[in-house]
Amino acid sequence: MSWHPQYRSSKFRHVYGKAASKDKCYDCVPITRNVHDNHFCAVNPHFIAVVTECAGGGAFLVIPIHQTGKLDPHYPKICGHKGSVLDIKWNPFNDFVIASCSEDATVKIWDIPKHLLAKNITSPKKELLGHVRRVGLIEWHPTANNILFSSGYDYKIMIWNLDTKEAIISNPVKILDAHKDVVLSMSFNTDGSLLATACRDRKIRLIDPRAGKVLQEASYKSHRVNKVLFLGNMKKLFSTGTSRWNNRQIALWDQNDLSVPLLEEDLDGSSGLLFPFYDSDTHMLYVVGKGDGNIRYYEISPEKPYLNYLMEYRSHLPQKGIGMMPKRGLEVSACEIFRFYKLIPTKSLIEPISMIVPRRSESYQEDIYPLTTGAQPALTAQEWLNGVNKGPLLVSLRPGSGAVNALLQFPETEPLTKTMDLSQHQGQGGKKPLEDLQKPSGIEDRRRWLKMEEKLPKNEQTCLSSDFDVFECPPPKTENELLQMFYRQQEEIRRLRELVNQRDIQIKQLELELRNLCMDTGNY
């Protein structure tokens, strides 16, 4: 068992799971009864897709994310496969494109209309024909646009380039033929240059997908692996499986040495599969059990004990599959750091479960929302195939902030002070323009200005001294630090604009009072 310290300093120590109320669930959804070990659910900020039970072929539903409540029994389906649908995945760079694979040995790419579906969709945008047996897994490349990986029961992994005009693609750009049995799981590192696979022959393989070369291979006998996952940039792999005594087991591996796991822990004696999910922003790891209602979550650290147990979400309703909302679709105002969509076939229900950091403040919590992966590709398909590696483009989750490129182009900021023409407000001549009112002229005025500065709060004093650097700190060393500094500066500029607007309003009020006073004295 891993060492669970009684007390440990962490901002995620008290994270808890909160199930959505009944009116925010998706009811009367005919969830598939297929026994294949997959998620059967894919989510993005616009839609939730779920594999459904269907007679004569395979189908899945695409429901708008805000269309909760009871589902119409005649709701349109995506039903172009001749066999059961085994896996579905949304394109990470296009929320209206989804891929599906099936027992009919095909992979299909679908365009989802932005409006509500009016009828069944039966014609795919593209069809990928290459596997000779059923296709059980598909994965989109994390940084390159239109690169798709598929794995079939013919023991092959095929790499597809979808940047072509052909509707039917029969030739993959690469075939990885390194496995001697069915591939159970695929996972990419952050920039997509490495692929980790778990195979039914109980081995974990680390593969260079473009060269087709196996870099590392784990043949550890006491851990029968089912699912494997890259842990971001920590150079570690996490796997779930079973022990020699058929206990459910988790293991942590060094990416550069797969001979022996760094950590091995038995969880329980249940028979259901364990699905791992990793959040590289918070370094939190979630382990979801198939066939039970539990979600265990841990915090990953680069040093021993590596795996720090936090808590467990428990429910009496067992899940058959699970979907995960991308970070850009979370509700940051509620301090939500992760969201699952739990498939409950016994009740034909999809139940959202939010993982929440308890905070009293309702403002944006920058410390729990670092820059995260956005919806823009870092590479074209051809660039990646030519050997270019690039990390994902990052965005801020702060409301109102747009996507940010890795190479930041700082927008030209508007001048903080606007020159106002006061001639329209002047009832009579002899008045000073606004610039003269704002700037202290003479010794007496300067003294008044200094007194006003003393009365101001400290954070406002920093705004008034032009030669004081608000962001006095060492220069950023990494791209992420540069982006964080940029957002801090944008926030400071916004606050300064608000302060200047308040000053403008006060100046206008004083001018009106002065004009009224002059008019009153003139009447006398």
Q: What is the pLDDT of residues 407-424, one digit of tens each?
A: 333 333 333 333 334 334
CATH code of residue 64: 2.130.10.10
User: Model confidence at 319, in pLDDT bands (50, 70, 90)?
Assistant: very high
Predicted confidence (pLDDT) at residue 456 exceeds the cutoff of 80: no
Looking at the domain assignment, is residue 496 inside a domain?
Answer: no
Helices and strands (H and E) in the chain: how many: 5, 33
Instruction: Tell me the pLDDT band of 451, cut-offs 50, 70 and 90.
Output: low
User: Percent of the chain at pLDDT above 70?
Assistant: 83
**Residue-by-residue DSSP string for 44-60:** -SSEEEEEE--SSSEEE
Residue 299, domain member (yes or no): yes
76, part of any domain: yes
Helix (H, G, I), strand (E, B) or coil at 26: strand
Higher pLDDT, 429 or 50: 50
> Model confidence over 15-32: pLDDT tens digits?
999 999 999 999 999 999
Residue 343 lies in a domain: yes
The tally of domains found in the chain comes to: 1
Residue 422 within any structural domain of the chain: no
360 pLDDT higher than 80: yes
Q: Spell 270-279 as b/e; 16+ CB within 10 A means b.
A: eebbbbbbbb
pLDDT value of position 168:
95
Round the average pLDDT of the chain to a whole number and report it: 84
Residue ranges making up the domain that contains 303: 16-372
Rounded to two decimals, what is the model's pTM?
0.76
> CA 301 to CA 10: how far, in whole Å?
11
In a domain, 418, yes or no: no
pLDDT of residue 436: 43
Distances (CA, A) of 168 to 86, 95, 165, 171, 467: 20, 22, 9, 9, 64
Task: Report whether pLDDT(406) > 50.
Answer: no
Residue with tokens 């964080």: 484
Token output for 30: 């005919």
By mean pLDDT, which of 223-237, 238-252, 340-354, 505-519 is the weakest? 505-519
Across 345-448, where does the E strand assignment appear? 349-356, 372-373, 394-395
Residue 57 pLDDT level (bands cut at 50, 70, 90):
confident
Average pLDDT over residues 454-466: 43
Other Cβ atoms within 10 Å of 133 Cβ, number: 13
The per-residue pLDDT for 120 is 92
Decide if 141 contacts 375 (C-beta within 8 A).
Answer: no
* Average pLDDT for 188-199: 95
The segment with the largest mean pLDDT, out of 111-120, 146-155, 241-250, 409-418, is 146-155
Please give the helix or strand (H or E) that residue 445 lies within, else none: helix 443-455
pLDDT, residue 323, reads: 96
Residue 391 domain-assigned (yes or no): no
* Cα 30 from Cα 53, distance rounded (Å): 6
Q: Distance between CA 133 and CA 152 in Å, rounded?
A: 6
Reported as a single tens digit per residue, the pLDDT across 124-150 is 999 999 999 999 999 999 999 999 999
Percent of the chain past pLDDT 90, that is, above it, reads 63
Q: How confident is the model at residue 491, as a pLDDT? A: 77
Mean of pLDDT values over 146-175: 95
Does the residue 81 lie in any domain? yes
Note the pLDDT of residue 473: 55
Phi, psi at residue 68, to the nearest 5°? Answer: -90, 180
**Cis peptide leading into 326, omega within 30 of 0?**
no
Q: How large is the average pLDDT for residues 61-85?
A: 93
Q: In the predicted model, is pLDDT for residue 434 greater than 90?
A: no
